[in-house]
């Protein structure tokens, strides 16, 4: 039976998804923006939004037993106005030494308005 972490921003309930889910040793974290209590953090700052989104995604993974070292894949979804170099720098700082597979995309827009980046991640944890 999968374990789940609910989305606290209201989007999960509206769209029927979980912030994160674990099935066996696989942990998947949904696209995570830099939000607190429904408000975008660090408006206009690609670097700090990426840092915050990574921290939130890792916290959701940790609720299901995954640590930073367990992350095997990340995805950065960037709004057109996002500074990709700043987002990449935040990612490099967070995952140095882990070096997960990564894909970075520019997308047409993100929800909610003001979000510059969303972070997705997948992790593999030991079953022991």
Whole-model pTM: value is 0.91
Give the pLDDT of residue 104: 97
H or E element in which residue 98 lies: none
3-state SS, residue 115: coil
Kindly state the percentage of the chain with pLDDT values over 90.
Answer: 80
pLDDT at 120 over 90: yes
- Interatomic CA distance for residues 91 and 65, integer angstroms: 21
- CA nearest neighbour of 87 among 34, 36, 124, 35: 34
User: Using 50, 70 and 90 to split pLDDT, how confident is the model at 16?
Assistant: low
pLDDT at 10 over 80: no
Give the pLDDT of residue 44: 97
58: which 2 tokens? 């890792």
Give the pLDDT of residue 15: 61
Q: Which residue has the higher pLDDT, 19 or 59?
A: 59
User: Using 50, 70 and 90 to split pLDDT, how confident is the model at 110?
Assistant: very high
Task: Share the mean pLDDT of the chain.
Answer: 92
- Interatomic CA distance for residues 43 and 99, integer angstroms: 28
């Amino acid at each position: 039976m999968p374990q789940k972490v609910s989305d606290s921003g209201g989007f999960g309930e509206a769209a029927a998804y979980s912030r994160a889910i674990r099935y066996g040793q696989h942990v998947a974290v949904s696209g995570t923006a830099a939000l607190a209590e429904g408000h975008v953090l660090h408006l206009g700052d690609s670097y700090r939004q990426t840092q915050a989104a990574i921290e939130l995604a890792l916290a959701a993974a940790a609720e299901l037993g995954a640590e930073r070292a367990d992350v095997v894949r990340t995805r950065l979804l960037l709004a057109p106005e996002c500074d990709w170099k700043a987002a990449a720098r935040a990612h490099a700082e967070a995952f140095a030494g882990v070096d997960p597979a990564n894909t970075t995309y520019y997308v047409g827009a993100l929800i909610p308005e003001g979000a510059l980046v969303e972070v997705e991640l997948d992790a593999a944890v030991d079953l022991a």
